[in-house]
Amino acid sequence: MEQKRFVGQVAVITGAAKGIGQATAIRFAEEGANVACLDVDDVANEATARSLHQYGVDAIALHCNVADMENVKTVFASILERWGRIDVLVTSAGIYTGAPLVDVSLEQWQRTIDINLTGVFLCNQAVAPIMMQQRSGSIVNISSMAGKTSWPGTMEYSASKSGVIGLTRSVAQELAPYGVTVNAVCPGNTLTEMVRGVAEQVGTRDGMTAEEWLQMRANDCPMKRLAEPWEIAGVIAFLASKDSRYITGQAIEVDGGMVMS
């Protein structure tokens, strides 16, 4: 790493146990940040936090169900108590669900909205007063290309991710006078456990193996490949860095050109 942009800063990453959240936790630690890893998968989350110590930073794993307001409040209070500040929030915790409209139960709809959208709201709400008081900070909410476009059989996921973009724009306007930037990142298909699960589920539905489905998605992309989690993490880090101080309220596609808007 040529230049460490976050030395002495505190980054809070939800969904840090795996995938894009894990890659993001590593990126911030590599660049000198102390990192709070939040997730419901305690075993994998502990492993992520432990792995960050090799970069000479402080890192902790905290059990946090982002859809549980009391849990979120307690966890953010404990982070503040430990480090006295929060410079970066990345909301990567999320689930994928998908089914044709007529098959989606109210429970499935509610669970997706609770984790993917209410979870982002609760974490943004918890961190906002801290960053407003500091008069500095960056929030990066993870949406999806599914927040900007849609496919059949994925309406509750798409709705949750479009919601993240709307929330981001409003919070960005509220926090801009305090010097806090708020942006969304919209990844395309990225090689994580989530996308492998989707490949199994949707591939089976469409009469394909998971590998065939992943290849089809790669072929749909102008770059003819899926993303690696670190490629998303790099853009997240940019949006939390000084180089992006005049970017706020944006929803940036990192999808190899899948969605151009």
Ligand X SMILES: NC(=O)c1ccc[n+]([C@@H]2O[C@H](COP(=O)([O-])OP(=O)(O)OC[C@H]3O[C@@H](n4cnc5c(N)ncnc54)[C@H](O)[C@@H]3O)[C@@H](O)[C@H]2O)c1
Which residues contact ligand X (rule: CB under 6 A)? Answer: 14-15, 17-21, 39-41, 64-67, 92-95, 115, 119, 142, 144, 187, 189-190, 192-195
Q: Which is nearer to ligand X, 68 or 134 (CB)?
A: 68
Q: Is 219 exposed, middle or buried (0-12, 13-18, 19+ CB in 10 A)?
A: exposed
Q: Which is nearer to ligand X, 9 or 154 (CB)?
A: 154
Dist. CA 71–CA 64, nearest whole Å: 6
CB of 135 to ligand X, least distance (A): 28
CB of 206 to ligand X, least distance (A): 17
Q: Which is nearer to ligand X, 60 or 132 (CB)?
A: 60
Pick the closest to residue 228 from 238, 218, 239, 219 (CA basis).
218
Q: Which is nearer to ligand X, 32 or 227 (CB)?
A: 227
CB of 193 to ligand X, least distance (A): 4
Q: Is 96 a catalytic residue?
A: no
CB of 116 to ligand X, least distance (A): 6
Q: CB neighbours (10 Å) of residue 192?
A: 23
Judge contact between 91 and 124, C-beta under 8 A.
yes
Judge contact between 138 and 87, C-beta under 8 A.
yes
SS3 category, 149: coil
Give the residue closest to ligand X by C-beta. 19
**Active centre residues (catalytic):** 157
